[in-house]
Every structure is written in C-alpha cells, then in structure tokens.
Amino acid sequence: MSELGGNDAIVTLSDGRVTLRPWSRADARFMAEASADPAIRRYNGVHDRQGHPAPPLSNLEAEAAIDRFVLSWRAFAVSGAPGGVGFAITDARSGALVGCCGVDDWTEEDVAQFGYWIAADARGRGYATRAVILLTRWLFELGAARAFLTVVAGNEASVAVARRAGFVYEGTMRDHSVWQGERCDVMWFAALPHEWTG
C-alpha cells in the first residue's frame, strides 16, 4: 500500500507476518542498539578504508539517520525514484521492530540495489526473506528493470535469504571489500521482473 500526502510518501508493505513501514524517531533506540551488534557492524553500516566500522550509533545519531530516511521519502514523493528510502521491518502481529531494509540506489536505468539487516534476537524466523520478497515486489511494481543485492562472502545466512527470496547468484567480485584490513570477496545476487518467482 502506498499513499502520497503533501510532500511525504507513506508506504507500508505487509504479507500478514512481516510489515515494512517507514522509520520514526520513536525507533531510534532500537536502531542505535542494533548498530552495536557485531554481525550488523560486520556486514552493514559505515566502514573506513581499512574496513574498520564506525562506532555504534548514539540515540541522537540514530534520530539523524531516521531524519535522512524521511528526506528520502519526501524526494521519492516528488521523483518516484526510491533511492535512499528505508523501511523498519516489524512483526506484523506484535508490531515489534526486528530489522531494517532499504533501497541503497535507484539508477537512471531503473536498476535498484538494496540491503537489509535483522536484529540478533529476531534472526532465524524468516523475517529477512519475507522482507526481501515484499521489497522486491514493490520495486518491480515501481518499474525496476532489475533488483540486486551484494553479500560479503562467508555471510551464509544472507546468501540463504537471497536464494530463498528467488534471487539468482550472478558471480563473485574478488577482493571487492575490506574488513579489518583484509580483502573480502563479495557475491552478487539479482532478480529480473520477468523471471522472478518470489
């Protein structure tokens, strides 16, 4: 479901088990706490040239990150291109926050790149796969010609999510990333609207 009102876009996606909704400032503490999780720091977030992660977010920094999502939603309402928008992933029944997914980039050729993370205590319950399917369906409804995501080699849980969500492994970019001073391979997964069965 998508709604446009004033300068804001309000998009909520749900399959009855998982709901994707825009972040609000009330979610800042959850985001800040999740940013300290070792796996989230390893595979998401900001890293320097040597792959050292930025410190975990404070509540104020999480609020600022959420404010940037709000600005991206406003830009989407005007342009129709969702680059930079972020969703909070919640349990549809309880409303509990479990993670994040968002569109990292939307090119002029209508190619969408996105990513996701799940908080430690919510992993292994299917939230990520359902979120990826919901987000991919929405991107294709918006006219994406291709949706892709990248996974650092060794992140087997994320590889499994990509495969379960109907993404095709397209190859490995060798030594494409850095973590704690060591080069890492990055795997590439993609879906095309005419063949995706998610």
Convert the pLDDT of each residue in 93-125 to its tens digit.
999 999 999 999 999 999 999 999 999 999 999
Mean pLDDT, rounded, of the chain: 93
Q: How many Cβ atoms sit within 10 Å of the Cβ of residue 103? A: 24
> Looking up tokens 């291709």, which residue turns up?
146
What residues have CB less than 8 Å from 121, skipping those under 6 apart?
none
pLDDT beyond 50 at 3: no
pLDDT band at 178, cuts 50/70/90? very high
What is the predicted pLDDT for the residue at 120? Answer: 96
Cβ atoms of 101 and 129 within 8 Å: the answer is no
What is the predicted pLDDT for the residue at 116? Answer: 97
User: What is the end-to-end Cα distance of the chain in Å, rounded?
Assistant: 18
Q: How many Cβ atoms sit within 10 Å of the Cβ of residue 77? A: 18
Cα 111 to Cα 29, 61, 66, 79: the distances in Å are 32, 30, 24, 15
Q: How many Cβ atoms sit within 10 Å of the Cβ of residue 38? A: 9
pLDDT band at 2, cuts 50/70/90? very low
What residues have CB less than 8 Å from 118, skipping those under 6 apart?
89, 98, 99, 127, 128
Give the predicted TM-score (pTM) of the model. Answer: 0.93
Mean pLDDT of 47-76: 94
User: At residue 99, what is the residue type?
Assistant: G
Tens digit of pLDDT for each residue in 119-160?
999 999 999 999 999 999 999 999 999 999 999 999 999 999
User: At residue 184, what is the residue type?
Assistant: C
pLDDT band at 7, cuts 50/70/90? very low
C-alpha angle 150/96/1, rounded to 5°? 70
What residues have CB less than 8 Å from 135, skipping those under 6 apart?
13, 20, 87, 101, 103, 114, 116
Kindly report the CATH class assigned to 2-147.
alpha beta
